[in-house]
């Protein structure tokens, strides 16, 4: 259900992706108190300006994958984040169990740069 919800949310903004410099996914039930680094945001923008996709993940509370509670990146990178539902069969067919953070790690590394 969570992956389907992310997919649906992605469809809502994707038609306007060229209007956005960066896109952020956050869980609505969380309070984020760690400030974003202006340096990291500029690096993301530099990727965007070069026509490349990149994303930045939270470095805290990751369980053998990538933290799926927060991410910010270029629209193309965050489309991969939001539409990763499409790659579940491939991931499972490789003998993997569908754990949220390990699957996110696999899907994002397959398609985009990580800062």
Between the alpha carbon of residue 56 and those of residues 44, 73, 82, 87, 91, the distances in Å are 8, 6, 14, 20, 22
State residue 82's pLDDT score.
Answer: 93
Residue with tokens 């991969």: 80
Q: Are residues 84 and 104 in contact, defined by beta-carbon separation less than 8 angstroms?
A: yes
Q: Please, which residues bridge with residue 71 across strands?
A: 25, 57
Provide the whole-model pTM: 0.84
Question: What is d(CA 43, CA 4) in angstroms, rounded to the nearest whole number?
Answer: 30
**Which stretches within the chain are classed as H helix?**
2-14, 38-49, 75-82, 88-93, 100-111
- pLDDT single digits (tens) 71-94: 899 999 999 999 999 899 999 999
The arithmetic mean of pLDDT across residues 50-73, rounded, is 78
């Amino acid at each position: 259900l969570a992956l389907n919800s992310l997919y649906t949310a992605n469809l809502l903004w994707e038609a306007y992706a060229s209007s956005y410099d960066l896109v952020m996914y956050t869980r609505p039930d969380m309070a984020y108190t760690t400030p974003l680094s202006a340096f990291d945001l500029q690096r993301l923008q530099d990727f965007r300006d070069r026509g490349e996709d990149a994303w930045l993940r939270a470095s805290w509370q990751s369980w053998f994958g990538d933290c799926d509670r927060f991410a910010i990146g270029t629209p193309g990178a965050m489309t991969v984040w939001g539409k990763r539902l499409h790659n579940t069969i491939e991931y499972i067919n490789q003998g993997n169990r569908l754990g949220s953070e390990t699957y996110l790690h696999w899907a994002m590394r397959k398609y985009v740069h990580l800062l």
